[in-house]
C-alpha cells in the first residue's frame, strides 16, 4: 500500500473482507488496523510502502503492519498529558483492546513491523506468552 491516508479505509475494507461482518471482534480489529496503518503512514522517516498482514490462530487475530522504518525501533505508548489534545491515544487503545498483546521489531534494511494480537476466545494465550513467542519467531 502507498503511504497515503487513503490507504487506511482500504486496509480496513480488506481486513473486513477476510474476517466477515459477523466476526466477534470486528470493531476491535477495524480500530487496530486503522491505528497501526495510520501510524505507518505518519511516522516512518524512511521512504517506501506499507504492508498489512492478518493471521488467525490459537484464539488470536494478529494484525501486522510493516513500514519502511525509522531511526528508532519502537513506537511508544505515552500517557496523554493533555486531555484535550487531538492525537496521541491510538496505541494506548490498541494495547487495551489487545490486552497487552502487541509489539514491534525491526527486520532487514531497517523496516519495522508493529503487530497486535486481538483475543477472539477466552482461552487465548496471555500477553507475556504471545510476546515471548513472537520474539522467538524473529530471533
DSSP codes of every residue in 45-94: SS----EEEEEEETTEEEEEEEE---SSS-------SSTT-SSS-HHHHH
Q: How confident is the model at residue 125 (pLDDT cuts 50, 70, 90)?
A: very high
- pLDDT of the residue at 89: 79
- pLDDT of the residue at 119: 97
CA angle, residues 37, 40, 43, in degrees to nearest 5 = 140
Residue 73: pLDDT above 60?
no
Residue 83's contacts (CB-CB under 8 Å, 6 or more residues apart) are: none
Mean pLDDT, range 45-72, rounded to an integer: 86
Residue 7 phi/psi, 5-degree rounding, is -75, -25
- pLDDT of the residue at 36: 94
Q: Are 117 and 60 in contact (CB under 8 A)?
A: yes
What is the tens place of the pLDDT at every residue in 83-119?
676 777 788 899 999 999 999 888 877 788 999 999 9
- pLDDT of the residue at 81: 62
Residue 57: pLDDT above 70?
yes
Positive/negative CA dihedral, 5, 10, 59, 131: negative
Amino acid at each position: 500500500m502507498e503511504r497515503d491516508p487513503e490507504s487506511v479505509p482500504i486496509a480496513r475494507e480488506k481486513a473486513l473482507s477476510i474476517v466477515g461482518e459477523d466476526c466477534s471482534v470486528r470493531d476491535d480489529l477495524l480500530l487496530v488496523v486503522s491505528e497501526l496503518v495510520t501510524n505507518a503512514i505518519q511516522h516512518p522517516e524512511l521512504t517506501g510502502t506499507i504492508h498489512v498482514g492478518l493471521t488467525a490462530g490459537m484464539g488470536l487475530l494478529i494484525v501486522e503492519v510493516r513500514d519502511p522504518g525509522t531511526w528508532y525501533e519502537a513506537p511508544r505508548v505515552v500517557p496523554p498529558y493533555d486531555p484535550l489534545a487531538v492525537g496521541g491515544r491510538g496505541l494506548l487503545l490498541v494495547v487495551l483492546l489487545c490486552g497487552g498483546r502487541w509489539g514491534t521489531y525491526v527486520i532487514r534494511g531497517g523496516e519495522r513491523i508493529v503487530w497486535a494480537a486481538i483475543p477472539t476466545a477466552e482461552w487465548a494465550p496471555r500477553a507475556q506468552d504471545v510476546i515471548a513467542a513472537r520474539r522467538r519467531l524473529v530471533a
